[in-house]
Amino acid sequence: MRVIKFGGTSVGSPERMSTVAELTLQQPQPVVVVLSAVSGTTNALVEMAALATEGRHKKALIQLDQLQEKYLAFVPELLKTEAGKQQGNDILKDHFGWLERLLSKEGFGTVEEKEVLAQGELLSTRLFSAFLKERDIKSTLLPALDFMRIDQWGEPEIETIRELVLPLLGENPTGIYITQGYICRNHRGEIDNLRRGGSDYTASLVGAALRADEVQIWTDISGMHNNDPRVVANTKPLAHMSFDEAAELAYFGAKILHPSSILPAQKYNIPVRLLNTMKPQDEGTLISGTTEEAGIRAIAAKDGITAVKIRSGRMLMAYGFLRRVFEVFEQHRTPIDMITTSEVAVSLTIDDATNLDAITKALEAYGTVDVDREQTIICMAGYNLINQRGKAAQALEAVQHLPVRMISYGGSRHNLSLLIPSQYKTDALQSLHRRLFTE
Ligand code: ASP
Ligand code: MG
């Protein structure tokens, strides 16, 4: 069994959807197809939900109309027969009608918001099913809301997902199954989601639940590149990466893959292939449990980072200090990314600064607190990097002209991360690329 996932741009137009159908037909069956919402849809729904939350229902409905216009143009291009068009329009009526009712609701809250956000994937999968049906291609729609489950902490429950999805596939799974990325139900049974970009995560969770042979993530770039192609010229896709390397890079900025999506695949040892819908013949990147050459293999950057430094005379030889510092972040449900310490101070980074004021206030009980905003984490990943003599020196040499705020090395064997002010990101990525990959 294979699980193949297509992102928003891959289903972003009627032609692209028909490419998705072709690519699906080329797969060995049974195959589970996970679809994102048509590109732009989730963003639009997020905006409408925000307006409805503020009580600006009229404005939300105007935006809903604009979105519907796009879909009204999409359907007759996608579906050609009378019956097909009729079905397409019925699908739009269902979902846009429902959205209209939701967005008009007084007391619009988070439950309604999640329902609104779910409509994008529900639409794309139903339209894709109608498209296959029109071409006489048999497929089965698997409603993600019937099997994708998260617990009270928002964590997916793979074994529950397995128990729920297996009966839906039938005794002898055959053919094409279609399901929605991103959406799920929470422990209260309400509609929920795996957070933005979560369709990749759905694919690897379903892959893990079904113990699939392979998970494929189809996007619009030919695999994971050795540096950010938007910032650096002549980047190259990596043919192969280990789960560990891919996880470091996805977490620290590589946009191609949702950071959580490596873990389920790694746990069940399911290879993940990153492929390009526009260039299906390209090799892409295979992420698996095997590793190859050592050294720094790829660089990624994550912006919008805030560094927090706590300096305390009392830290010297005091046990329990770090625990108290970490507890502050835990109480404010804010994950920490990088940490560096000295005898008198500790610096750490967060990317969610929502509760920063409260955190700073609480930390002031333990020492002087300094905050630096607009920082960027530059993450370098490579298998067993830590045992490669001279590699870290090479990297630091490449950025010697830049102000490096933090260095993190040795936390895992596969990663070296630097924190720099964001204004130097382009320079840092280009200098590192030159020194590490071209000289
Ligand atoms: N449609 C969702 C989003 O835009 C999920 C996804 O595309 O992965 O975030
Ligand atoms: Mg994505």
Domain borders along the chain are 2-220, 298-438
> Mean pLDDT over residues 286-295, rounded?
84
End-to-end Cα separation, the chain, in angstroms: 43
Tell me the fold of 2-220: Carbamate kinase (3.40.1160)
Q: Is the pLDDT of residue 306 over 80?
A: yes
Task: Determine the Cα angle at 122 with ends 118 and 123, to 5°.
Answer: 115
Verify cis geometry, omega within 30 degrees of 0, for the bond prior to 30: yes
**Within its chain, how far is the Cα of 229 from the centroid?**
18
Spatial separation of the C-alpha atoms in residues 12 and 128, rounded to whole Å: 11
pLDDT digits (tens, 9 = 90+) for 310-367: 998 776 667 888 899 999 999 999 999 999 998 889 999 999 999 999 999 999 999 9
The values of phi and psi at residue 372, to 5°, are -120, 120
Indicate the class that CATH gives domain 298-438: alpha beta
Residue 220 CA to ligand 2 center (angstroms) comes to 10
Pocket test for ligand 1, best of 36, 67, 205 (most atoms within 8 A of CB): 36
Q: Residue 276 half-sphere exposure, CB side, CA atoms within 13 Å?
A: 15
Q: Would you call 177 exposed, middle or buried from its count of C-beta atoms within 10 A (0-12, 13-18, 19+)?
A: buried
How many other CB atoms are found less than 10 A from the CB of residue 102?
A: 20
Q: Is the pLDDT of residue 144 over 80?
A: yes
Pocket test for ligand 1, best of 35, 41, 42 (most atoms within 8 A of CB): 42
Residue 258 CA to ligand 2 center (angstroms) comes to 6
Residue 419 CA to ligand 1 center (angstroms) comes to 28
What is the pLDDT of the chain when averaged over all its residues? Answer: 94
pLDDT confidence tier of residue 249, bands split at 50, 70 and 90:
confident
pLDDT digits (tens, 9 = 90+) for 222-243: 999 999 988 999 999 999 999 9
Domains 2-220 and 298-438 share a fold: no
Q: Higher model confidence: residue 260 or residue 439?
A: 260
pLDDT digits (tens, 9 = 90+) for 271-286: 999 999 999 999 999 9
Q: What atom in ligand 1 is closest to the CA of residue 194?
A: 5
Q: What atom in ligand 1 is closest to the CA of residue 37?
A: 1
| Pair type for strands 339-341 and 415-421 | unpaired
Q: Is the pLDDT of residue 298 over 70?
A: yes
Q: Is the pLDDT of residue 290 over 90?
A: no
Q: Which range, of 100-114, 150-164, 272-286, 303-317, averages the lowest pLDDT?
A: 303-317
